């Protein structure tokens, strides 16, 4: 059996080696050619995609983009692959311990060996954001929320260079894309949800955390209180609300579903294609997967008690954040 598999692999390699780059590309996209205009497909192929952060948001997006015919992709992340990542990020056991950006590029090359793409194992930083954002056509913000200063810098540069930014959220079973059309609309970075003053405050709390003056739980409380993004509480799935209400104060894990990441990557690529086609898209694209599957769903009225409990929890968190800020002043 092993010998037969090896023979099949050899024949397969020979078949791929016999194809030119264009022949290979045409075979790769042949199944979608009736649904994607060839002009748009070629534009998408040559669009410079910058994916900052290749965790549960960025990694599936990068893989879906290359499977959809993108060839100019830059992936950035300073972190290493962990076993816990494998349920929702497209890495393998052999890649555990290796840099995520490098391994994402390696996996993209396994899909299309002709791509003109690169990895940045330092991730996006305050120092390199200018260069990378300036050279991109579409930017995906998948940066860990613990790096609010880098997130703000990315959006500030995108605003300056007029680059569209897509932000992905996987909220329990809900996939959400927030679209910032800095290339089309006049707006401040993140529509003013973060500003220079807030970033300076964030740096102070982060430094206090690094110095051991505040706990990790206190630091994360501050981060979540400082920036919630464009999340509408009435759109947050009940599972996410329940998790927030029931969460232990010292529990610092991020809970996510691999199925949500997969749907999110599909929404992202569709959004990219339409931006490339110069179409206007929704500011918020959202799919609640469990609600699409369940025969019946909680009504708005039945969600109100849970929403109230969540708001009480958020209010309590806000009071703790004030205590933390007062502690380090």
List the domains of the chain with CATH numbers. 36-193+255-296 (3.40.50.720), 194-228+298-329 (no CATH)
Q: Is the pLDDT of residue 2 over 50?
A: no
Contact in structure between 279 and 210 (CB atoms under 8 Å)? no
Percent of the chain with pLDDT over 70: 94
pLDDT digits (tens, 9 = 90+) for 90-136: 999 999 999 999 999 999 999 999 999 999 999 999 999 999 999 99
pTM, full prediction: 0.88
Cα separation, 39 vs 9, in Å, equals 34
pLDDT digits (tens, 9 = 90+) for 79-93: 999 999 999 999 999
Number of Cβ within 10 Å of residue 244's Cβ equals 17
- What is the DSSP annotation of 140-160? EE---TT-HHHHHHHHHHHHH
Checking DSSP bridges between strand 138-141 and strand 165-171, what pairing results, if any? parallel
Burial of 11 (0-12, 13-18, 19+ CB in 10 A): exposed
pLDDT at 328: 77
Contact in structure between 260 and 289 (CB atoms under 8 Å)? yes
pLDDT at 252: 67
Kindly state the average pLDDT of the residues 271-290: 94
Percent of the chain with pLDDT over 90: 62
Contact in structure between 318 and 325 (CB atoms under 8 Å)? no
CA distances from 137 to 153, 181, 283 (A): 17, 12, 18
Contact in structure between 136 and 49 (CB atoms under 8 Å)? yes
- Mean pLDDT, the chain, rounded, equals 88
């Amino acid at each position: 059996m092993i010998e037969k598999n090896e023979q099949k692999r050899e024949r397969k390699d020979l078949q791929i080696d016999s194809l030119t780059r264009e022949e290979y590309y045409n075979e790769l996209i042949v199944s979608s050619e009736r649904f994607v205009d060839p002009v748009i497909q070629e534009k998408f192929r040559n669009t410079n995609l910058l994916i900052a952060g290749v965790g549960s948001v960025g990694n599936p997006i990068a893989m879906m983009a290359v499977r959809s015919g993108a060839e100019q992709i830059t992936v950035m992340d300073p972190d290493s692959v962990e076993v816990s990542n494998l349920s929702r990020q497209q890495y393998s056991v052999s890649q555990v311990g290796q840099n995520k950006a490098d391994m994402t590029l390696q996996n993209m090359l396994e899909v299309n060996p002709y791509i003109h793409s690169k990895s940045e194992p330092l991730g996006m930083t305050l120092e390199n954001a200018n260069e990378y954002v300036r050279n991109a056509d579409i930017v995906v913000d998948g940066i860990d929320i613990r790096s609010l200063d880098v997130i703000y810098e990315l959006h500030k540069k995108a605003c300056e260079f007029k680059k569209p930014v897509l932000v992905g959220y996987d909220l329990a079973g809900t996939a959400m894309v927030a679209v910032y059309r800095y290339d089309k609309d006049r707006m401040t970075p993140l529509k003013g949800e973060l500003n220079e003053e807030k970033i300076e405050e964030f740096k102070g709390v982060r430094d206090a955390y690094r110095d051991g003056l505040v706990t990790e739980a206190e630091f994360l409380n501050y981060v979540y209180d400082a920036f919630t993004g464009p999340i509408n509480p009435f759109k947050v799935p009940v599972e996410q609300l329940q998790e927030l209400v029931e969460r232990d104060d010292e529990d610092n894990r991020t809970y996510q579903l691999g199925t949500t990441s997969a749907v999110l990557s599909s929404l992202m690529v569709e959004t990219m294609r339409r931006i490339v086609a110069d179409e206007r898209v929704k500011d918020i694209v959202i799919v609640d997967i469990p609600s699409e599957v369940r025969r019946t769903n909680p009504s708005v009225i039945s969600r109100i008690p849970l929403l109230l409990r969540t708001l009480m929890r958020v209010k309590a968190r806000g009071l703790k954040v004030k205590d933390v800020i007062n502690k380090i002043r």
